[in-house]
Amino acid sequence: MNRPIPWKTAWITGASTGIGRDIARQLAAQGVKVAASARSAEKLAELGSDILAVPLDVTDSAACKAAVELIEAVIGPIDLAVFGAGTYSPVAVDDLQPDVFAGMMGTNYMGVVNCLSALAPRMLARKSGQISWIASVAGYVGLPKAAAYGPTKAALINLGESLYPEMKAGGVRLSVINPGFVETPLTAQNDFPMPFLMKPEEAARRSIEGLAAGRFEIAYPRRFVAILKAARALPYPLFFRLIARTVLKSG
């Protein structure tokens, strides 16, 4: 870390694997009181006794409120929240299953909304705190095989943009984390080359540094982010031609 850790307590969801797991571990190693949530109590227990395990299904709004009440009663007011619970399944154009789309929106998007609804009023009442969630660079543009996943991440980016001004006015910082490809059990499902693939511990480090800096958007790796943002600015005929020549060809 190039700057001091500004939080005393943190709540991380999606902490059983991937980026969320490493964020929880790295924050705890730096002296932050961490509460970690995921559906698997067994995987949370593996994080160690210095992290408060709070098993949670983020699709249950009442359970999210109960989790916040428990965490703040045990470790104190939450200074930082990182909502990282998510799921991913590649979608084939000839096999569009509505339940896959609904399930991904329920976990990836509404899971964040449920946690946000439980925590934001408390932070706003205190006029302090920082809330963030893990979206994705897949939210920048529509990509093949991400027809169910990408829209949930685009919605999370839009949600952050929509809430940021009022949250800031209320004394609460808001950040959206947009990683590229990270080596996790979810991305292991992909059968195509993943450029700039990162280890979860590096993604967690970059996320924490961006959060400590108070940035709204924390996106990495930079070259991949630049490529996708440039692609987003292309006229559609050029964009679809690029996709056909790169993504579809490689898949």
Mean pLDDT by 10 residues, the chain (251 residues): 86 96 97 98 96 98 98 98 94 94 97 98 98 96 92 98 98 97 74 77 97 97 93 94 74 44
Identify the pLDDT of residue 181.
81
What pLDDT shows up at residue 251? 44
pLDDT at 16: 94
239, burial (CB in 10 Å: exposed 0-12, middle 13-18, buried 19+): middle
Q: Note whether 89 and 21 are within 8 A (CB).
A: no
Tokens found for residue 117: 């609804």
pLDDT value at position 143?
86
Active site residues: 149
What is the CATH number that goes with domain 9-250? 3.40.50.720
| pLDDT tens-place string over residues 110-169 | 999 999 999 999 999 999 999 999 999 999 999 888 999 999 999 999 999 999 999 999
**H helix count then E strand count, the chain:** 10, 7
Question: What is the per-residue pLDDT for 188?
Answer: 65
- Domain residue limits, the chain: 9-250
